[in-house]
Amino acid sequence: MFVDDNSTDGTKEFIIDYCNKNPSSKYIFNKSKQSTLIARYQGIRKSNGKYIIIMDADLQHPPEYVTNIYNTLLKGYDIVIASRYIKGGSTGKRGPGRGIISRGASTLAKTFLKSSRYMTDPVSCFLGFKNNLNLEIDNKWKGYEIGIFLRASNTNAKIKEIPFKFAKREKGKSKVTSSLNFIRIYLIELLHAKKVERRHYALSLANNYRNK
């Protein structure tokens, strides 16, 4: 499943050609730029497989780890997160600035969200999950981190982190850290996720009470 935000560099034409040759592949072409969060959400909603795996297209998420995520999902986990910070994982050769941003974003996620508190890499965007899970996102929101909303919407989910080694970006630059505007967007995103989490914790408590 490809989601393209009105690209002009030939990506759209490549996707069409690829999907014509690979009928199991699909695409969504947006007429204007969406946030990373919404583009991923669109892809998830149009996917019909039993499991969904999300990864970036710049190969910093090495494709060979997809099998590890899938095999771990088969063991009965609801959500599997590829982490840079557990044993066997690595952040790769990133600059100190990028490291500070990543660690800062992780600390904020753990501070704001109970469902992210025990994750080693709560802002990892390399993850897999069951397609039947809740995912509460408003199409009007902007943001980057699908994982925080996935966990906030499924407070009783069985979650597993597995290691992966963050690879060097082959081309382009990060859309997240290329502008200081990402700090404001990320904080707003966390506030939205906090509201979602509170609602689902309340629903979970109510369900547990009814089942007693």
CA distance 143 to 193: 10
Amino acid at site 91: T
Domain membership of residue 207 (yes or no) is yes
Q: Specify if 21 maps to a domain.
A: no
Dihedral angle of Cα 204, 108, 131, 11, to the nearest 10 degrees = 160
The 10s digit of each residue's pLDDT in 114-151 is 999 999 999 998 999 999 999 999 988 888 899 999 99
Q: Which CATH number covers residue 106?
A: 3.90.550.10
Read off the pLDDT band of 67 (50, 70, 90). very high
Residue 89 is part of which domain span? 49-211
Domain-embedded: residue 15: no
Burial 38-75 (b: 16+ CB within 10 A, else e): bbbbbbbeeeeeeebbbbeeeebbeeebeeebeebbee
Residue 83 lies in a domain: yes
Let me know: does 105 contact 186? Beta carbons within 8 Å: yes
Please state the rounded mean pLDDT for residues 170-175. Answer: 60
Tell me if 103 is assigned to some domain: yes
Domain count, the chain: 1
Residue 116 lies in a domain: yes
Residue with tokens 């597993």, as numbered in its chain: 160
Distance (Å, whole) CA 73 – CA 152 = 19
Q: Is 154 exposed, middle or buried (0-12, 13-18, 19+ CB in 10 A)?
A: buried
In-domain check, residue 8: no
Highest mean pLDDT pick, 57-66, 73-82, 171-180: 73-82
Beta strands in 63-191 (DSSP E): 79-83, 127-130, 159-163
19 within a domain of the structure (yes/no): no
pLDDT at 52 over 90: yes
Which pLDDT band holds residue 155 (cuts at 50, 70, 90)?
very high
- Checking if the pLDDT of 44 tops 80, the result is yes
Global pTM reads 0.87
- Tens digits of per-residue pLDDT, 174-210? 555 555 688 889 999 999 999 999 999 898 887 776 7
pLDDT interval class at 98 (50, 70, 90): confident
> How many Cα atoms sit within 13 Å of 97 on the Cβ side?
6
